[in-house]
Amino acid sequence: MCFQLCSNSLQNPVTFLCVSYVPADIISTVEFNPTGELLATGDKGGRVVVFQREQESKNQPHRRGEYNVYSTFQSHEPEFDYLKSLEIEEKINKIRWLPQQNAAYFLLSTNDKTVKLWKISERDKRPEGYNLKDEDGRIRDPTTITALRVPVLQPMDLMVEATPRRVFSNAHTYHINSISVSNDYETYMSTDDLRINLWNLEITNQSFNIVDIKPANMEELTEVITAAEFHPNQCNTFIYSSSKGSIRLCDMRASALCDNHSKFFEEPEDPSNRSFFSEIISSISDVKFSHSGRYLMTRDYLTVKVWDLNMESKPLETYQVHDYLRSKLCSLYENDCIFDKFECVWNGSDSVIMTGSYNNFFRMFDRNTKRDVTLEASRENSKPRAILKPRKVCVGGKRRKDEISVDSLDFSKKILHTAWHPSENIIAVAATNNLYIFQDKVN
Amino acid sequence: MDVSAEAKRIMAVSISKLYASRAQRGGMRLHRSLLLSVIMRSARDLYHSACLAKEREELGTAHLVPVTPEEDAMDTTANGEQVEVEVSQVEPEPESPLTPPIQEPMSSDSGAAQGACKTRTFSGKETVEDKENRSPVSPDRHSRKRRGKASVAPDFLPSKRARLSLELGEERVLRTGRRNCCRAGDAFTTLSLNSNRAIAAF
CA of B116, closest CA in chain A: separation in Å? Answer: 10
Q: Of A84-93, A322-331, A382-391, where does mean pLDDT reach its minimum?
A: A382-391
At residue B1, the pLDDT reads 55
pLDDT digits (tens, 9 = 90+) for A383-392: 666 677 788 9
| Closest residue by Cα to residue A91 from A50, A47, A49, A40 | A47
Give the rounded percent of residues in chain A with a pLDDT score beyond 70: 90
At residue A249, the pLDDT reads 97
Write the burial class of residue A148 (CB in 10 Å: 0-12 exposed, 13-18 middle, 19+ buried): exposed
pLDDT digits (tens, 9 = 90+) for B126-168: 444 455 555 554 444 444 444 444 444 444 444 444 444 444 4
Query: Which of A152-166, A264-278, B182-196 tops mean pLDDT?
Result: A152-166
Enter the ipTM: 0.86
Q: What is the dihedral of CA A61, A66, A69, A71, to 10 degrees?
A: 90
Which chain B residues in 139-168 lie under 8 Å from chain A, judged by CB atoms? 147, 149-151, 153, 155-159
The bridge status of strand A3-5 relative to strand A47-53 is unpaired
| CB within 8 Å of A216: residues ≥ 6 apart | B124, B127, B128, B131, B134, B149, B150, B151
Which chain B residues in 167-186 lie under 8 Å from chain A, judged by CB atoms? none
CA of A221, closest CA in chain B: separation in Å? Answer: 6
CA distances A243 to A226, A228, B5, B35, B183, Å, are 6, 12, 28, 8, 34
Instruction: Show the domains of chain A with their CATH numbers.
Output: 10-120+161-440 (2.130.10.10)
Distance CA A220, CA A94 (A): 29
3-state helix, strand, coil in chain B (%, to 5): 60, 0, 40
At residue A441, the pLDDT reads 62
Decide if pLDDT at A147 tops 70: yes
Chain A residues whose C-beta is within 8 A of a chain B C-beta are 83-89, 91, 112, 173-175, 193-194, 212, 214-224, 226, 243, 274-280, 283, 330, 333-334, 336, 339
* Sign of the CA dihedral running B189, B190, B195, B199: positive
CA of B178, closest CA in chain A: separation in Å? Answer: 19
Mean of the pLDDT values across residues A341-359? 97
Decide if pLDDT at A155 tops 70: yes
Residue of A90, A112, A176, A219 best to disrupt the B interface, most CBs of B under 10 A: A219
Give the one of A87, A218, A336 whose C-beta lies nearest to B26's C-beta: A87
Decide if pLDDT at A206 tops 80: yes
Residue of higher predicted confidence among A243 and B150: A243
Q: Of A134-148, A149-163, A304-318, A415-429, where does mean pLDDT reach its minimum?
A: A134-148
At residue A361, the pLDDT reads 95
At residue B202, the pLDDT reads 66
Decide if pLDDT at A409 tops 70: yes
Note whether B114 contacts A220, CB cutoff 8 Å.
yes
At residue B97, the pLDDT reads 37
At residue A13, the pLDDT reads 24
Note whether A217 contacts B115, CB cutoff 8 Å.
yes
Task: Give B-chain residues touching A334 at CB under 8 angstroms.
Answer: 13
Decide if pLDDT at A70 tops 50: yes
Q: Find, in chain A, the residue whose alpha carbon is nearest to that of B132.
A: A216
Decide if pLDDT at A174 tops 80: yes
Run of H or E residues at B51? helix B30-59
Q: Find, in chain A, the residue whose alpha carbon is nearest to that of B201.
A: A218
pLDDT digits (tens, 9 = 90+) for A108-131: 999 999 999 999 999 999 889 889
Using a CB–CB cutoff of 8 Å, tell me whether B76 touches chain A: yes
Distance CA B139, CA B143 (A): 7
Decide if pLDDT at B175 tops 50: no
Distance CA A244, CA A223 (A): 6
Q: Of A8-17, A36-45, A275-284, A389-398, where does mean pLDDT reach its minimum?
A: A8-17
Residue of B28, B31, B39 best to disrupt the A interface, most CBs of A under 10 A: B31
Per DSSP, B76 falls in state -
pLDDT digits (tens, 9 = 90+) for B41-98: 889 988 899 888 888 888 876 555 554 444 444 444 434 333 333 333 333 333 333 3
Give the rounded percent of residues in chain B with a pLDDT score beyond 70: 29
Distance CA A83, CA A38 (A): 39
Distance CA A314, CA A303 (A): 14
pLDDT digits (tens, 9 = 90+) for A24-65: 589 999 999 999 999 999 999 999 999 999 887 666 655 556
Decide if pLDDT at A434 tops 60: yes
Per DSSP, A82 falls in state T
At residue B62, the pLDDT reads 55
Residue of higher predicted confidence among A366 and B188: A366
Local structure of A190: helix, strand or coil? strand
Task: Give A-chain residues touching B153 at CB under 8 angstroms.
Answer: 218
Mean of the pLDDT values across residues A190-204? 97
Given a contact cutoff of 8 angstroms between Cβ atoms, the answer to whether A131 and A145 are in contact is yes
Mean of the pLDDT values across residues A224-249? 97
Give the one of B31, B134, B202 whose C-beta lies nearest to A216's C-beta: B134
Task: Give A-chain residues touching B156 at CB under 8 angstroms.
Answer: 83-84
Distance CA A84, CA B26 (A): 11
At residue B113, the pLDDT reads 37
At residue B188, the pLDDT reads 46
CA distances A14 to A2, A4, A435, Å, are 20, 13, 18
Q: Where are any strands of DSSP class E within A9-46?
A: 18-19, 27-32, 38-43
